[in-house]
Structure 1
Amino acid sequence: METSEHLFRDCGLSSRIWAGSDLGIRVEGAWGVSISDWICNWIRFLSKRDEGTREVILFIATLWVIWSVRNKIKYQDQRQHQAVKEIEEGTPQTEALAIRNGRPVCILGLPTSCAVVRVKVDASWNSNYEAAFGWIASDGTGRELERRQARIRAESALQAEALGIRDIVMWAQERRFLHLDISSDCLQLVTQLAETEKEDHGITGILEDIRTSFSFFHCLVFNFIPRRFNGFAHNLAKQAMNL
């Protein structure tokens, strides 16, 4: 019988997620401690650190990711189990929302020998529905291929992020890039790209535009990355807001 302790902490997959996260939590010494006590103790400990607020948010977000992905494996789609197993073993998968280095990643298609184009994207938004996105693309050697920033109108920050990713996908199609790896610091968007049943209705049309292009690519990857690793795209979006 599955227990909360095993699900969130003691399972081999869950323990690797904690160890691979930015928090670097080792769970071996916690066996025998109830999950509620374990969570409360970590929140108290992290809240006292210099970056306490960010680390507490990351801790809670990791709990949510473990719950949502493991729940899907258990009850919704048994194919996800094979996808997670393939990611752990480093073998290709056809489509999955899974965990890589403790962070969500949506993978579609199979990795190929064609050159990988890596793109980092971010968006900015305010309550007046003014928004902007910025992104920068590079090849496998790190050489910049293109950067773009644009001021737009959007109903939410999530919608602005989605418009930025749609712009990247359309650009890649025009340039005939077949292997695209996109990184965003918007966890909600990366998750919704794979889980259609949880879509925010404000971006349904934009997600449909993005999904329509999936068949064009040999491999398409959407990664979630923390904001501090996305500074260049963030600055491009901020600059565009002032244009």
Structure 2
Amino acid sequence: MKNVGATRNNGSITFWKKLWKGNILPKWKMFLWKLVNNALLVRRGLKRRNIIQDSLCVICSQNEEFEKHLFWDCWLAAHIWKSCQLGINTSSAFSIPMSSWVKNFLIFLWKEDGHESSRVNLFIAVMWGIWIQTCPATLLRWIQGILKEVEQANCVSKKHTQVRCIRQEVQQHRLENQKVCLAGQSDIHSDILLVDGTWKASKGTRNAIAAVGWILVRAQSNTHEGSECVYAHSALQTEALAVSKGLAYARQYEVDSIIVKTGSSKLVQAS
């Protein structure tokens, strides 16, 4: 029983971490938190607090308004779920608690589409649209508002997909434009030295404090690393110092053959 409880607790923590870190509107995150924790001010809760006298759903006027009815059972909510791009049939989830249904559905979408799922945004947008349209005085205004929210939710989903595609194209373009410069000879038994230098110009001084670092990966799978602060007057000199100090560091391990990997193509071309 303890293991089951620990697993559920870890799953809940993972869900909330994904939600808070997700590319979702802050007000939507708070809305979901309240929904999952039964903290929304639905009419049933308001009646219990003696704030209102009637707890019937303002849409169907047949059942008491609470989370499950508002987002599932009400005829208009069910119609909206079927009409949106997700095509959800809420009748199939009749016996599942509302909070579990929301969490399970979001986890499923994250697993299928990745952390920046456009369907997650659409799912939350539809629920948000249903929620904010429960206050209008007339049913006609309610229907007009919710249809507008569904249309806006679909637009948000499309824009999210377009942004993700553009981002992927930019990343692919960067990868295609990367330059790889090779110099010298090596074999499969060579050790690998990765070096990098960080430099920033300082006003009023010719030489600025820079940082260099290196990682030596031995053919025997042993790894050694080091770093040092240096003085340099340019980024190129900083990278050159990183190579120099990295090679000096590797010499103490009696390296016979080594591959040096640096981010400076000028150093490679000059070698």
**TM-score normalised by structure 2 residue count:** 0.33
The one of the two structures with greater contact order (alpha-carbon pairs below 8 A, sep at least 6) is 1
The structure with the larger Rg is: 2
**TM-score normalised by structure 1 residue count:** 0.37
Would you tell me which structure has more strand in proportion to its own residues? 1
